Amino acid sequence: MPDSFTSTTSTSWGGNILGSIKSVFFGFILFVASVPLLFWNEGRAVRTSKGLTEGLGAVVSVPSDSVDAGKEGKLIHTSGAVKTDAPVVDDQLAVQATAVKLIRNVDMFQWKEHEKSESRKKIGGGTETVTTWEYKKEWANGRIDSSNFKHPEGHENPEAPPFETKTFVANKVTVGAFTMSSEQIGQLTNATSLPVDAAALEQLPADAKDRFKVSGGNFYAGDDPATPKVGDVRISFQVINPATVSLVGVQSGQTFVPYSTSTGTSILLVEEGNLTAQQMFKKAQDANTLLTWLIRGGGFFLMFIGIFMLFRPIVVFADVLPIFGTMLGAGIGLFAFLGAAILSFLTIALAWVFYRPMIGITMIVLAIGALYWLVSVGKKKKAARAAMVAAPVSV
């Protein structure tokens, strides 16, 4: 049975035109959705920034070796060594570790489908699309449902492994006299590998002990780890166990709850290592800035795709001669990029007028200037083309 399949389909010019007209509707939705997304993001960024600044002004650093009842309900910062009351135990495989979290990762060697499509324009406005499905054996978490493959025959995956990926958390995690809340523990994500050995193998349930062996610090079910076969299972473990953490939150008894700022921002910070309150809030501000730019990029991309789809029927009409359609598509793509950049900037500026007027007004002036320049360039090019057509031809 081959592991690669190719299918070629053709779409007529009329079919492409109909599809492009439908795309106008989706393009409009994307364009409209990008505007409130960009506007909301600026408000979120400003509220979060102001909230963090408010929190930094209110936070009080305290030692972790004792709980001061006078700080009850106050926003506090503390640092200290992390301790757990008992080892964390995998309830099925009996693997244990002195850690905040124990992570069991279960991978199975199985078939995975890779789909790739390439389209080519044809004279007359039609398109020819070549789609290739390739099937490769790879390690993957859990089970890939091979019944959804385009060509499942010969690429069937076995049933899911008897165990699944799972995270086990310590019952009680303390930092000095304080107890970390479950939300704070959830923010700890820096994991390191925990190899298993022959002694761990002996602790497995009888049915699992007969099936698995130890290979490369993992439990392995299969004949030869060097040449895995479909259905082989690999179980690895990781632990999250920072030596020291720094915490910021509202003191509530011996634990912490989020601090609500006047801007609606919720503050409950956790960082590995011994950090000052200033360092922790600086990290939080940096994370807010990064998230803001990521959402800005997402909003711009939605707007760019939306604008391009709005003008896609023009490209499809020109595809009667593919070279003209390609050139026109490149031009509309550039127009969509510049238009999305200017309109995104203008949307962000309008949001800043609402949240920070002086900066927002300056941004609007710059955006209008850029839009005026883009329109004027278009007019000049149009006038130049008209002049070339009207110029008399000398013999």
Q: What is the pLDDT of residue 275?
A: 97
Q: What is the pLDDT of residue 144?
A: 96
Q: Which one-letter amino acid corresponds to residue 161?
A: P
Q: What is the pLDDT of residue 352?
A: 81
Give backbone dihedrals phi and psi of 123, rounded to 5 degrees, phi first.
Answer: -60, 130
Q: Which one-letter amino acid corresponds to residue 51?
A: G
Query: Using CA atoms, how far apart are residues 25 and 28, in angstroms rounded to an integer?
Result: 5
Which helix (H) or strand (E) segment holds residue 55: the answer is helix 13-58
User: Beta-carbon neighbour count of residue 391 at 10 Å?
Assistant: 8
The CA-based diameter of the chain, rounded to the nearest angstrom, is 100
Which helix (H) or strand (E) segment holds residue 215: the answer is strand 213-215
Q: What is the pLDDT of residue 386?
A: 66
- 347 is written with which tokens? 């949307």
Is 0.75 topped by the overall pTM? Answer: yes
Query: 358-377 burial by CB neighbour count: b if 16+ within 10 A, else e?
Result: eebeebbeebeeebeeeeee
What's the start-to-end Cα distance of the chain, in Å? 69
Give backbone dihedrals phi and psi of 186, rounded to 5 degrees, phi first.
Answer: -65, -25
Query: Using CA atoms, how far apart are residues 60 and 121, in angstroms rounded to an integer?
Result: 66
Query: Using CA atoms, how far apart are residues 296 and 300, in angstroms rounded to an integer?
Result: 6
Q: What is the pLDDT of residue 67?
A: 96
In the chain (395 residues long), the average pLDDT of successive 10-residue segments reads 87 84 92 96 94 97 96 97 95 95 97 94 87 97 95 94 94 96 95 96 90 95 95 97 96 97 95 96 97 97 95 85 84 91 88 76 74 73 64 51
Query: Which candidate, 78, 77, 63, 81, places its Cα nearest to that of 243?
Result: 81
Query: Using CA atoms, how far apart are residues 335 and 303, in angstroms rounded to an integer?
Result: 12
Q: What is the pLDDT of residue 351?
A: 85
Query: Which candidate, 19, 289, 3, 283, places its Cα nearest to that of 151?
Result: 3
